Structure 1
Amino acid sequence: MIKTGSRLSIFPLPGALLLPRAYLPLHIFEPRYRALVSDSLARDRRVAMIQPIPGEERADRPDLFDIGCVGRIANVEALEDGRFNLILEGVSRFRVVRELEAGTAFRQIEASFDEFSEDEADPDPLPSPMRSEIEREARRFADARGLMIDWDGVERLDDESLVNGMAQAIPFDVVTKQALLEAADALARADLLVDFLRLGAGDGSQTLQ
């Protein structure tokens, strides 16, 4: 468990959802985030993902949501021109305590992990009806939006990978992605996912990225 009070280097990115035990591929090209990755590789391999509040995305230092998820660099490809291709493995959610005066090109925060102590534990399996409902509503959503999904691959996923993968891959808006991140546990996230899939398939009100 990461200690509360830890210093985290943050990568604010709208629509990029990292969840515990899920994986997030990233292409790093901006100089400040190339510096972040270099620092992380030399120090602890941690990168904290967090979303800017809608309307703040284009600001130089946008206001951020209070909750994000820290990941460990599980795989890295350093390109000749200084860019990186990364795969982050989600470790735990965190709450921002305060932003630090870091003196670096990238932003750093003090983080609390106290309320997310269960994030590193494997969740219980979903009830069978819930699993079936997620798959059914995901098919309806995909049909309504014209999305191509490998359904054979979906059926082979374990419950947590199914919920996390859908939460990450479905093109929900920033606020919806944040709600999925902040869900109390895996079952609550699955319930929310069904609601958002149903809403998006029914009236098209969810915003595509």
Structure 2
Amino acid sequence: MNSYNLDIPIFPLDNVIILPGSFLPLNIFEKRYLNMVDDALKTSSRLIGLIQPLMNKKENIESFENSIGCYGRIIKFEETENETYIISLKGLSRFRVINTQLIKRGYLSSKVSVETYKNDINKLKTNNFKFINDKSLKTILKSYLKLKKLDSNWNYINSCSNLDLTNQLSMICPFSTHEKQMLLESKSIDDRYILLLSILENTVKLNEKENQIRH
């Protein structure tokens, strides 16, 4: 058996990604995904894989072939009065789907390979990050947040390292599904930083051009 292959439950979510080393809160309310969490909690690893569905075909198993996602471990679990779950995932590693099946409990389960991404966690070490002191990200972020009229806590933002901020912004900014997938699939954290910077800059520049045309 290939030690880089895993069988994990799959949670397809539109426009949502998790990255290695990052944390993601999730509200679980559909019966099939309540089943998925119940089953994951019964295992020692408590793993769940997240994938952005292709073309929104959540029920089309073939749409997940060769897709790249990221799995995380359930590190926090709470059941609400409405019998829904609030969980937190810690991202561990990206993966490539080998095959997928719909199981009796109503959710998808995939055999995935992590061989390409076996060093995901190691690559998150700050001393391997080239842009630790670069000021470009926070500079363009101010313009982007103003453009999108998004509330921001600059005390918190300034306290974040560029490495942490790169992953957090990749996950929470209102980017397109395609942009988020590109950020997820970046070969390294340095590549992700460069791509994130490009997306932010292009969004701001495009808005500036549109304003010039209007006036």
The answer, yes or no, to whether TM exceeds 0.5 is: yes
Give the aligned CA root-mean-square deviation in angstroms: 2.0
- The letter of the residue matching 1:61 is N
Task: Give 1:95-110 correspondences, 5 Å limit.
Answer: 95-100=96-101, 102-110=103-111
Cα shift at 1:103: 3.1
Q: Are the equivalent residues in 2 in contact too, given 1:145–1:201 (CA < 8 A)?
A: no
Residue of structure 1 in register with 2:18 after alignment: 18
Q: Which is worse superposed, 147-156 or 180-189?
A: 147-156
Cα shift at 1:189: 0.2
Q: Are the equivalent residues in 1 in contact too, given 2:131–2:190 (CA < 8 A)?
A: no
Deviations 1:117-168 (A, max 9, x none): 1102133233356x31111111111111111111111111123211011111
Distance 1:92 1:145 in 2: 31
**As a proportion of its length, which structure holds more helix?**
2
Residue of structure 2 in register with 1:119 after alignment: 120
Residue of structure 1 in register with 2:211 after alignment: none
195, 200, 205: which is aligned to 2:203?
200
Residue of structure 1 in register with 2:92 after alignment: 91
162, 169, 172: which is aligned to 1:169?
172
Residue of structure 2 in register with 1:33 after alignment: 33
Task: Give 1:35-184 correspondences, 5 Å limit.
Answer: 35-43=35-43, 44-53=45-54, 55-57=55-57, 59-61=58-60, 63-64=63-64, 66-100=67-101, 102-121=103-122, 122-123=124-125, 124-128=128-132, 131-184=134-187
155, 167, 189: which is aligned to 2:192?
189
Could you state the TM-score of these two structures normalised by the residue count of structure 1? 0.89
Give ranges in structure 2 of 5+ residues lacking alignment.
208-215
Counterparts in 2 of 1:137 and 1:30: CA distance versus 1, 3 Å: same
Give 3-state SS (helix, strand or coil) of 1:72's partner: strand
Deviations 1:1-41 (A, max 9, x none): x9422101000001111000000110000000000000000
Distance 1:82 1:10 in 2: 21
Cα shift at 1:199: 1.2
Cα shift at 1:101: 5.3
Q: Are the equivalent residues in 2 in contact too, given 1:34–1:82 (CA < 8 A)?
A: no
Distance 2:130 2:155 in 1: 19
Q: Report which of the two structures shows the higher radius of gyration computed on alpha carbons.
A: 2
Q: Are the equivalent residues in 2 in contact too, given 1:18–1:168 (CA < 8 A)?
A: yes
Distance 1:160 1:90 in 2: 15
- The letter of the residue matching 1:40 is A
Could you state the TM-score of these two structures normalised by the residue count of structure 2? 0.87
Distance 2:80 2:172 in 1: 26
Cα shift at 1:72: 0.4
Q: Are the equivalent residues in 2 in contact too, given 1:126–1:159 (CA < 8 A)?
A: no
Q: Are the equivalent residues in 1 in contact too, given 2:99–2:112 (CA < 8 A)?
A: yes
Deviations 1:89-124 (A, max 9, x none): 000000001113533311001000010011021332
Cα shift at 1:86: 0.7
Give 3-state SS (helix, strand or coil) of 1:81's partner: coil
- The letter of the residue matching 1:149 is S
Give ranges in structure 1 of 5+ residues lacking alignment.
205-209
Give 3-state SS (helix, strand or coil) of 1:15's partner: coil
